[in-house]
Each structure stands twice: as C-alpha cells, then as structure tokens.
Chain A
Amino acid sequence: MPDLRTEEFVVNMGPHHPSTHGVCRLILTMDGEKVLKIVPVVGYLHRSLEKICENRTYPQCIPILDRFEYVTAMSCNYVFSLAAERLAEIEVPERAEYLRVIMLELNRIASHLIFYGVTAMDIGALTPFLYGLREREMIMDLFEMTCGQRLTFNYIRIGGVAKDIPAEFIPYCRKTVSVIREKLNDYEGLLNENPIWLVRNKNIGVLPPDVGIAYGVSGPSLRASGVDYDLRRDDPYSIYDRFDWKVATRSNGDCYDRYLVRLDEIKQSVRIIEQALDGLPEGPVKAKVSPNFKPPEGETYARVENSRGELGVYIQSDGTKKPYRVKTRGGSFNQLQVLPVIGTGGLIADLVAIFASLDIILPEVDR
C-alpha cells in the first residue's frame, strides 16, 4: 500500500459563521480536525466610530458610542461621560452616582447572561440560551421603563443620568434581582456539573496569567487565570468603594473557569445592586451642564471595568464643543489577539469553546 498523502488545508471560519459572534473571520490552517494556525481578520464591522465622534458635540457622542459595545451600552455611556466629566471637572450628584451603579451592574448581569447563553449554545446546548435571555429580558424591561430603549440607552449623560427612575422601577428591580438569584440555580444545575460540559471546558484553552497580561487581556477572562485585578476596586470610579462585594477570581484559566467567574460576577453584581437600592438617596439626578458643553483644553483617559474587560475612552479636547480626538479601548480586541495563542493546537470544537469563553464581541473589536 502506498503511503497515504495527507496535507493541511485552509478553512475560512467566518465572516459569516454561527459561532464567531458577529463578523469575525478566522483563517484556520487545519490538519484534519486539528487547528495548526489561526489568523484573525478583523474589520468587517468597522464603523469608524472614533472618527464620527470627532464630528459630533460631546452630548452627541454618547448615542454614537452606544454602538461601540452594544451588549453593555451603559458602560460606553458611562465611560465617555466619565472622561468628559474629568475634563470639565463636573461634580455628579449623589443619586445619579447610585443610579449609574445600578444601571452598570444590571447591564453587567445582562451581558453575562448573554455570555452564559451563547457559550452554552456554542458548545451545543441550545436551551440555556433561551433561559439566559429570559432573565435578561427583565433587565431590558427595566432599562426600557427608565430610559426608553432596550439596547442603545443614551441614559448616562455628562453630569449625571438623563432621567430619574420611574416609580415602579425599584420594586421591579428588586424582583428581577431576586429572580436572577433564584434562576442561577437552574443555570448551574444545567451546566456546572454536567459531565459533557466539564469535558468540553475543563483544561481547554488555558490562559496563563503572564500571557494574559502580556496580551493586555483584562476583565473576567484575566481574573479566571488568577489575576486579582478589577478596575472597580483597583482604579476606583463612581461609588463602588461604598459597597460590600468581592472580586471574583478563579485560578486555572481554562474555559470552565472563565465561565464560572462570570457566574460569580452575576452574584456579586446582584449584591451590589441590592445595596445600591437600599442606599439610594433622594436628590437631583443631573448636575447643571450647559447644552453647549465645552470642556477646557486638555486630554484625559477614563476606564471602567466592563463585562469584557477594560473599557476605556481617551478624549483630547481643544476647548471647542467637539472632541479633537476620541480613542476607544475595548477588552474584546485583546482577547481576540490572545485567541491564536491559546487556541492553536486544539481541535476546531475547542476553538469554538475558547472563542465563546473569551466572550469576544465584534463591535468592540472593530469599533
């Protein structure tokens, strides 16, 4: 029998592929099922948000940046407002700070619920997706009754928040939070101990902490590797220091730990929200900010802990109504960078699991 001739072949995974979470293209060199080389190609969702922002006034930038990371648009609202407030040195009212924290944490839960569903779906379990979105829907209802939109909020503005919460918000929010806490049992029961889930995720795509730091990975993906680093605590912004919560970390850095860290973060966010609801003061929700917001000349960088890592905005102001330069930083970009490092050598099914567990979304990569 003659020697079997085998050769590597190249597969284009994406831009249209069910598990690339958008329009990411990965050029895979494969040997059968084994992935030998991964080359991510980005830019299919590029909307030139940064350049658009240069042509908009500061308040107008916020709805534009809603589209930057639309799964957690509140963070985008917030980080831009934070940068602008730092430039103009605006004091934000107490109640607005509380509302911001509630909204940010609700949005973090919503994002992690999407992660839960999508990761499960990428690994083949279709039902958790619907369960995750079911609870997320309650959060979206909360957002809609507060600011009128479900996805692109434009709620957190420079100097505070756009509107005060309606009367029915607090009871519904408490209900939502308790429902999520209760449903977490279902989520964990479905996947956490499931032997198939364990073999698919444990020791898959191990991200060593030093590699993670070298590639600029941040957020839950880095905390799963044992790096205890959370901007909410380490670069304090807003009023997170007033609440009793813990930074969720795990030590192995595999897909399973990245999944668990996010479930833990949901629990911590629930705690923060409950404390914030208890301590919500009365008062105005927006500082006096001129409609023609003109920060003084200067530059600043604000960063917040998003559900996908460090979300940052750099603003350079030339003293006019429009920012001279806006630069955004999203966690997904760095996580996509690290994908070839930890995904090479595995099977294509592992690659899908790793991609899902890093929680990469493409609008944040391509801006």
Chain B
Amino acid sequence: MSSLKQFIRNVRSAKTIADERAVIQKESAAIRASFREESHDSGIRRNNVAKLLYLFTLGERTHFGQIECLKLLASHRFADKRLGYLGTMLLLDENQEVLTLVTNSLKNDLNHSNQYIVGLALCTLGNIASVEMSRDLFPEVETLMSTANPYIRRKAAICAMRICRKVPDLYEHFLEKAKNLLSDRNHGVLLCGLTLAIDLCEAEEEDEEEGGPTGVIEMFRPLAGGLVRALKGLTTSGYSPEHDVSGITDPFLQVKILRFLRVLGRGDVATSELINDILAQVATNTDASKNVGNSILYEAVLTILDIEADSGLRVLGVNILGKFLANKDNNIRYVALNTLNKVVAIEPNAVQRHRNTILECLRDPDISIRRRALDLSFMLINEDNVRVLVRELLAFLEVADNEFKSVMTTQIGIAADRFAPNKRWHMDTILRVLKLAGNYVKEQILSSFVRLIATTPDLQTYAVQKLYSSLKEDISQEGLTLAATWTIGEYADSLLQGGQYEEEELVKEVRESDLVDLFTNILNSTYASQIAVEYIITASMKLTVRMSDPAQIERLRRLLSSRTADLSVEIQQRAVEYTNLFGYDQIRRGVLERMPAPEIREEQRVLGAAPAAKKRQSKLLRGKSTTKVAKSAEHDLLLDLVGGSDAPVTSPTSNGSNTADLLADILGGDSGMSSPSPGPTGQKNANSAIMDLFGSNGPSPSPQPTQRASASMDLLGAGGLGASAPSPSTSPTPVTASTPAHTALNKDGLVLTLQVQRSGNNAQILARFRNDSNFDRFTGVGLQAAVPKSQRLQLSAISKADLEAGDEGTQSMRVTALNGGLPAKLRLRLRVTSARDGGNPVTDQVDWSEP
C-alpha cells in the first residue's frame, strides 16, 4: 500500500484524464480490498481513510468508506478519532442513515475529560447534526455551554443553534445559557452567543404569525444596554493586536452586535432609542477607507434603517450609502445600490438626493452595478423628475446592453404612461424609445402608444408625420415599423395634407407614391417579419380609401393581390379578403373608416397599493418582497395598458356584437350564425366589428372588457387580422352531448343547463336555455357570468334571445386558467336575465359550482 502523499503524487503526475482515471480506480479498488481484510492496525485504516478523503475531494464516490470512518472515531487514539470525525463530517450528512451509529460515540466524547476530544465531537455535531441527534444529545450541549473552557463554550453555543434549527421546540433549554453568553468577555464566546441569540430571535419573528414562541426577543431586550457598552468598547479601544483587522478591533464582533441590536430594536421604540447614540457614533467614527470599515458601516446602516431610528439618523444612514456610491471599490458600490433598492420604498426623499450619483452608476464598467442602478432609477421616477430622469434613461438606452433594452423600453413606457406631464412629451418619449430600441419593445407598450395617438386627435398629424419620417430613415426597428404602419394606415389623409408644423424641417410634402414606396421597400427588405407584413397589408387596404390617385390605389391593389398566395395562411386569407373587398365599393369606405378612439380607464393606470407585507418582518426584507410585487404589478400594468380588466366579468351587450361573427358576416358572407344584434345597418355593423377587432369597444353601449382585451391581444399577437385568427370565440369547440348537462337554474319554465368540457387548462361550457313552459314566451334572454380572478372568461352571445315555448338557445363560454390548471370543480357566478311575455326583464343570480 502506498502512502497518501504517493497517491496524491501519482494522481497529479497522470498525463491524461484516462491515466488519472486508471490511477484513481486502481487505488479505489485497493482501498476496498484493504477494508475487506478487516485489519486491526489503525495505521493502515487511517491511511486508507485519508486516501478516501482525497478521493472525496476529487469528487469520487466514497460511500463504501463511511463505516470505516465510524470505526476510526470509536477508537481511543486521538489521531484515529480526529481523522474519523473529519471523515464523518465530509462523507456523511444529516440525511444518512449511518449517522445514527455515531450518536453513541458522540455522546461518550461529549462527556470526555479531554477538552480536545469534546471539541471534535462538538464540531461534528455542529456541522452535521440531524433531528434525531439533536434530540438525543441536546442535554450534553446544554451542559457544555456553561463549562469554564471558552473554546468549548463557543462551540457548544453554535451547536445549540444548529440543534434549535433542527428541532425548534428545544429552544427553551438554551435561552438562559444564551443570555449568560451575551455578557461573556471572551470575543469568540460572545460572537457565538450572539449568533445563537440572533438565530433564536429570528426564528421567533418568522413564526410569530403562527402563534409561535413569543418572548424570546423580549427576554433578550434588557441585554441591549450591555451590548451597546461592549460595542462602544470595541469602537473606542485602541489597537488590540489579538483582534485587529487593519486598524479596527474585531470587525466580525462589531457586525454581529450591530445585527443583534437590529433584531432587538426592530419595532421597539425604547430599545431603538437606547441604541441611537451608538449607531450614530459607529456611523460617524468608523474609518471608511478600507473594506473592513465599510462592512461595519454597512451593517450599521442596515440597522439604522430597520429600527425605529430618528429621522436625522436615517438620513445619515442613506447618506452613507450615497457616499458608498462614489467609492471606487466595485463591491462598495454594489452593496450601496443593492441596499438603496430596498430602502427607496421607506426613505424615498433621502434617496432622491443621490439621484445624480445613481445615474452616474448607469455608466459603470460593472454590468451588475449598471443593472442595479437601472432598477433604482426606475424606482426614483415621479411626477417631479420624470422629464430629467427619462431623458437620462433615454440617453442610456442608446448605449445600453441589449439585455437591458426590453426591460428599459417597458419601464420607460410605464413611467411615461403614469407620469407624463403632457401628451406631446409622452408621444415624443415613446417615439424616441421606438427609434432607439424598436426591436425590444413589448407589444403592450406599442398598443398603449397606438391608443395614445388614437385618443389625441390634435396630435395625430404630428404623430403620423414624425412616425413617417422616422420610418423613412430606419426600417430596421420592428416596433417603429409596426407603430408607424398602423398610424400611417389610419391617418394617411392628415399626412398627405401636410400642414401646420412647429418643427419646420418636417414640413415636407408627402406624396401618395411615397407611402406606397415606403411600404414596398419594407416588404422587399429583410425586415419584413410576419407581423410587419400583416400590419402593412391592413394599412395598405386602409390607404386605398385615404388616397385619391388611381395609379397608387392600383399599386396597392397589386401589392395586396401579390400576397394572395402567401405562405402564411393568415396573410393569405387577409389578402384574399381585402382584394375581394374591392368588389364591394359601397361598403369598403365604411369598413375602412377611421377607428374611434378607445376608452382609457384612468383608475387602472396607477399601480395598486402593494399588498401589506408580513408584519414585524424586517423592513429591508420587506423591501425585497415589494420589488417582487412591483414586478407582478408591472405585469398588471401592462395588462391595463392593453385595456384588460381585473374583474373578469363578461357581459354580452344587447348589441351582442360578437367580433368574429360579425366580421365573418361581412367578409365571408353568411356564416350561418345569426347575429343577435337587432338591426344596426350593415355599415355600422362592419365598423363595430373591425373596431372590436382592434380592441376598441366601439359604439356598443357597455364595454366588454375581457373580450376586448383578448381581441387586442390577438391583434398584437397574431397581427389581429381577424376572423380566422384562432380566437376562441370564433370557433367554439362543439360540446358533445356525451358530457353530462347540469341544471343550474330552473325558474318559471326557463331552464338553464350547463355542459362542461375540459381540455388542458381551459374549459368550454355550453349554456343551454330551454323554454319548458307551455305557452309562455321569453324575450331578451341572456347570461352574464363571472369567474374567480385566477381564471379568464370569454363569453359569446346567445344564439337565440327570444324563446318560444319549447325553444332552445345556446350560449358558449370558455374559461381559461391564467396560471396553473383549472380547479377540479369550476365555480361560476351566473346572472340570468329574461323577460316573460313581454314583461319587465327579471334578473336571477346563481352561484354555480360544478357537481
């Protein structure tokens, strides 16, 4: 058998990986063989285990040596024990069954007279104690916490911490001992005592809501005074060689004390007052030239911001972070930005003061610092500084890393939407974003921009001119292409009129041929993505009614018919439909009229209040969770931008305008599904259909939020070109008769049954109304429905609203789970309206859950 040294040399001298494997496998086999021989020479066993540990560091499988380690640590020789314990700690963890075999040896060794052996046992226990071991051995640890030997005391303190983490209900046994440790004069013991105390307190904080152990923090609070004195002693003491770290006495202990004071002072005014002074002292007197000092300052700032400190002190805390920002050490800046991100919610004004420094960090060479500075900048935006900050951010967008651009465009879009001082500014901002990073703009931002233009008639000419000239300069930014195409299609007449313009360099006559040229250019370029083509097709069609030159209209017609054999079904179908529309000149003009401005629901534009975080939890931790909330809120905000509604109540209006149906009616002739809307003219009908398609709610008297949102989503997702888009309402999957029908309502002869058919995370529900009465007649029968917030509901119009006796009308719904799957039993709130024999309409509400 070779020695450990020789083995290491052999491994290292292996020339190739294959050689190395061979050496390792040979040795591994030799070790196994040696184990099998059951030699009683502990020297050989030690040698084997040592080699085994080397194999472990190489990442080899070593499970076969576990028992040998246990044999070693049960030996009486110190060298055996030491290696045995080392091996146990390395090769085993708390989840190994074999560990139970160690418990007895540990118990013996914890009671050993030799402090070094006790130390080994404590060390092992601290590192790998399992639940069982904790229960079996805690009395020993409890005793050891008050031995005279500081070395043992501190190790026992950490073991106690581990035991309480494993078996929380054992904490009571250690409370008194922990208190004693906190007045210990030995640095190591005090440090470990603090570690234990912090752990106990935080465990209490975490569990408070569950009615967990209370009073732990209360019990430790009286000790704050003593710890303040200890900290004062550390900060004012001169050079102490034993614990000095570049001029500062025991920074580790200072940091721990500060952290413990934070736990004690959190939410307690009296204690906070007690520690205010020392915090001010630490914050002002600590030498900030080295990392050591900064680590203490950092901890002090965290404590200041987390306890009930007075306002002056809090400002001092934020200012320290501000100073950190100017530090040339990357680490310090990183930490500062990270903390400011958490603090900005609690101390917004103090953080605002460092705005310029934060903006400078956008140009930091370190990407993680840039990222944090960017996050922080967005959080700083408010009504007062939106112009300045967005200008800076736009400047940064020009040079920003690509991975930031998507987030930036969204955030700038949201900020502009919330804080824009005026519409002109809002428009210019988004326009700039589109020009700089049009390829990274999310569709929601795009749609909100389009909506902005549509709702601002006095700026439409300005917008279309600006967009046109930008698109002429650069067709490579998809977002810009889409927005400009839509706007040109919609407002081409304003563009062609030219006109009063403030920025004179823009006033250039635009000819009809220029527009067609531009579209052709894009279509012929490599930037003609599927969506861009879809937009252009529709915009071209609109242009045919906005232009007067027959030659150009003919060009557009050719352009459209050239796409009638497009490989994309969507484009092909649209092109075919549009070319056919040329044959219906009397309705073409009406169909392609300008879209009315969509409605903006103000109340939904602003971020809702963040849900209350867990009480008593650290404010800084809370800061962390609010960023998460902000993330999801951002998502909500995006949804709001497209006009989605939080309350998924869908109500088909009496107008009953089912987008798809109508469009199918117009474009595809009679689809066989009769529209329930009584009597709007064909032209009006067409208008509302297309408008619905584009996400406006058109002239229908009451909005259909969900459907609208989904329609506009479709628009942006699939180019929104209409009836053939896989919009669920278009093609309701037939609910087969085999699924059982459940009666949801039976009142005065009107019976409502529901049939549910599930597929994946959505369910198709067919509501069937039947007039079961003998002679009565029901008119205006309709169903409204609502689902829990985790689901989305789409409701189509009823097939027949007036039911004679024996008649049946059906209405289909589609429930989609927003995240995760649908629950096993669907729940619906149904509101059924009907009028009997021409009387007043009656509404019944039922809460239905799937049987």
* Co-assembled chains A and B: no
Interface residues of chain B, those whose CB is within 8 Å of chain A, are none
